[in-house]
C-alpha cells in the first residue's frame, strides 16, 4: 500500500503538478492519438457516445490502468531511493507496450517531459534515478517520468495518478473532437462523463500490486497496429 505524505497536496507540489500536466507543457501530447485516429477512420468512433466509450475502455482496461499501477510502484521506489526496484518497474513498463506506435508515444513523451522538467526544475536526485535507467538502456516511459518527478516534488501518489489519468483522457478527447469532428461543448460533456472512469481506474490500480495488473483493451491495440499503415494520418500514433 502506498503511503502518502501527511501534509497532502499544496504549495510548490500543487504548482508543479498543475504545470507539468497542463496541455501547454512541452511533451507533444497533441501529436498522439493512441490508435484513435484509425478507430475514427474505421467508423468505430463517430460521435460523442462512442468517443466516450472508447476513451473509457482505454482508461479502465488499457494503458490507463497499467500506467496508473506503474506510477504507484515507481512513486514508492523513488521515495525509498530504491533504484533497483525502480529499474524493475521501468523494464516492465517498456516491455508492456504492445505496438511500435504506443511505445514511441510513451517513450518520446517521457524523454520530452524529463528534458522540460530538468530545464525548469533541476534535481540531482532525479538525474541519478534517470541515469540508472540509462545505464541499463531502459528508456523511461511518460508515466514513469511523471511518477519519479512527482515523488521527488512531494506530490502525493493518489493526486499524481489522478492528474495524469485526467490529462491522458483530456488529450484523447481533444484528438477525438478534431478527428470525428465534434464541437467543444460535446468534448466538455465527454470529459465530465469520464470523471468516474478516472476515479475507478486510479482506485483499482492503487488496490492491486503492479504484478496483478494487466490490460484487455484489444481493439485499442488493433487500431494502433492498423494506424501504422494508415495512408492519411494527422497523428503519430
pLDDT digits (tens, 9 = 90+) for 13-30: 999 999 999 999 999 999
- Domain coverage including residue 101: 34-227
CA distance linking residue 30 with residue 129, whole number of Å: 28
Number of domains making up the chain? 1
Q: Is 86 a domain residue? A: yes
Instruction: For residue 1, give every residue at least 6 positions away whose Cβ sits within 8 Å of its Cβ, in sequence order, or none.
Output: 206
With respect to residue 13, please indicate whether it lies within any of the assigned structural domains.
Answer: no
121 within a domain of the structure (yes/no): yes
Radius of gyration of the chain (CA): 17
Segment 132-176, tens digit of pLDDT? 999 999 999 999 999 999 999 999 999 999 999 999 999 999 999
- Mean pLDDT of the 42-61 span: 97
Confidence grade of residue 10 (pLDDT, cut at 50, 70, 90)? low
57 touches 218 (CB < 8 A)? no
Here the cell at position 92 is 516492465
Give the 3-state secondary structure of residue 149. helix
Phi, psi of 166 (to 5 degrees): -65, -40
C-alpha cell, 94: 517498456
Whether residue 25 is contained in a domain is answered as no
Q: Is residue 143 part of a domain?
A: yes
Helix H or strand E segment including 115: helix 100-120
The dihedral sign for the CA sequence 57, 195, 34, 144: negative
Q: Does residue 65 lie in a domain region?
A: yes
> Cα(206)–Cα(13) distance, rounded to whole angstroms?
20
- CATH number of the CATH domain containing 176: 1.10.4190.10
Give domain status of residue 95, yes or no. yes
Tens-place pLDDT, residues 68-93: 999 999 999 999 999 999 999 999 99
* Residue 1 maps to a domain: no
CA distance 75 to 191: 26
Q: What is the pTM of this model?
A: 0.94
Amino acid at each position: 500500500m502506498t503511503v502518502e505524505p501527511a501534509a497532502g497536496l499544496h504549495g510548490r507540489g500543487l504548482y508543479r503538478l498543475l504545470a507539468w500536466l497542463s496541455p501547454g507543457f512541452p511533451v507533444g501530447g497533441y501529436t498522439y492519438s493512441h490508435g484513435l485516429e484509425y478507430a475514427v477512420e474505421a467508423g468505430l468512433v463517430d460521435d460523442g457516445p462512442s468517443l466516450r466509450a472508447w476513451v473509457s475502455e482505454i482508461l479502465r482496461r488499457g494503458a490507463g490502468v497499467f500506467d496508473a499501477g506503474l506510477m504507484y510502484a515507481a512513486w514508492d521506489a523513488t521515495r525509498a531511493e530504491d533504484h533497483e526496484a525502480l529499474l524493475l518497474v521501468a523494464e516492465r513498463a517498456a516491455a508492456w507496450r504492445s505496438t511500435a506506435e504506443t511505445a514511441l508515444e510513451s517513450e518520446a513523451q517521457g524523454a520530452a517531459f524529463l528534458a522540460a522538467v530538468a530545464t525548469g526544475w533541476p534535481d540531482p536526485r532525479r538525474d541519478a534515478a534517470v541515469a540508472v535507467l540509462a545505464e541499463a538502456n531502459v528508456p523511461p516511459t511518460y508515466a514513469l517520468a511523471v511518477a519519479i518527478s512527482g515523488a521527488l516534488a512531494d506530490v502525493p501518489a493518489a493526486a499524481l495518478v489522478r492528474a495524469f489519468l485526467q490529462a491522458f483522457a483530456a488529450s484523447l478527447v481533444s484528438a477525438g473532437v478534431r478527428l470525428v469532428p465534434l464541437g467543444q461543448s460535446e468534448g466538455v460533456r465527454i470529459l465530465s462523463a469520464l470523471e468516474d472512469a478516472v476515479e475507478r481506474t486510479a482506485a483499482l490500480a492503487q488496490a492491486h500490486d503492479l504484478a496483478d495488473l494487466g490490460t484487455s483493451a484489444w481493439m485499442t491495440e488493433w487500431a494502433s497496429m492498423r494506424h501504422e499503415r494508415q495512408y492519411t494520418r494527422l497523428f503519430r500514433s
